[in-house]
Amino acid sequence: MSTYLVTGAGGFLGRYVCEQLIARGDTVRGLARGEYPELSALGVEMVRGDLADRGAVVAACKGIDCVFHIGGKVGMWGHWFEYFQANVQGTLNVLGACQELGVTRLVFTSSPSVTFSGEDQRGVGSEAPYPLRWLAHYPHSKALAEQFVLTQDGTPVVGGGMLRTTSLRPHLVWGPRDHHLTARLIARARAHKLRRVGEGKNRVDMVYVENAAASHLLAADELARAAPRNAGKAYFIAQSEPVMCWDWINEILALASLPPVEKQVSARTAYAVGALLEFKHWLLRDFRNEPAMTRFVARSLATDHWFDKQAAARDFGYEPTISTAEGMRRLGEWLRKEPQGA
């Protein structure tokens, strides 16, 4: 057994990672800004703190064998400083704490958006370059953080040994307790503000949350080997096959007893509207409220996003064990039990 730290433990993915670690008998500490009594009840030692607070991160890393660095600032709108502080400086604090305290394994939760330039992505592998321009602060900050994580693989740590690192890029994580992706879709549909962007024929990869969490444990276990195959590398994480984006969105809406999306806007119009709304929010210095449309969202909803999944299977044995159909069934059950939760 090992002792693990999960940053962002109270978040959607972080909570599932904690649960899977506890289920197999590991010792788990969680770092989060809020209180999560449900995790404490499971046996997770919860520590309150902010990733931007170096002292809090160092304290949380004491006695840890492996860190799952999942926490950070998400979203497609906001002030650059906030994204930099949470995602870049926070990651530097985690890396520094690992090296100072002898932590030898770090699994970083990145995003496929770090390689997204606004164009179609079909069968993209981890060798895909970072874009030359960014449509949002989130992917930019995550790309910077990922580069720091991967370049620090193999660096020495205090007490002997070296730090082994890897980066996972789960795409569109969904499932029960999803108060982000699923919640936003349902809320916009209920408000009659959801529009199909583009022709509606784009295919996307996505991943059921329990599969995404399992990939993290597999990646950490591989890093514990004498010659880990995933050290210093990034991996896309998804279900077995991509889905038609708007068909899948309509299936989620149906689980919430909502009609399918019928209204449509062209990809070009959505992008123009997103640019205009971003400019308006910038003029008003409104960085707290996300515009109804952004350039990044417009491009994301109208283009293909599916990736090469062979590398994760080959290097650390990741294969989705819960099918999309079963995942949707579980999501439906949760929505029926907690209709206001999403």
User: Which residue numbers are catalytic?
Assistant: 138
Task: Output the CA–CA distances (angstroms, integers) from residue 146 to 135, 149, 180, in the order listed.
Answer: 18, 5, 22
How deeply is 294 buried, as exposed, middle or buried, from its count of CB atoms within 10 A (0-12, 13-18, 19+)? buried
Torsion-angle region of residue 61: left (phi > 0), alpha (psi -120 to 50) or beta?
alpha
- Are 230 and 316 contacting, i.e. CB atoms less than 8 angstroms apart? yes
Which pairing describes strands 105-109 and 196-197: parallel, antiparallel, or unpaired?
A: unpaired
CA-nearest of 272, 117, 298, 291 to 197 is 298
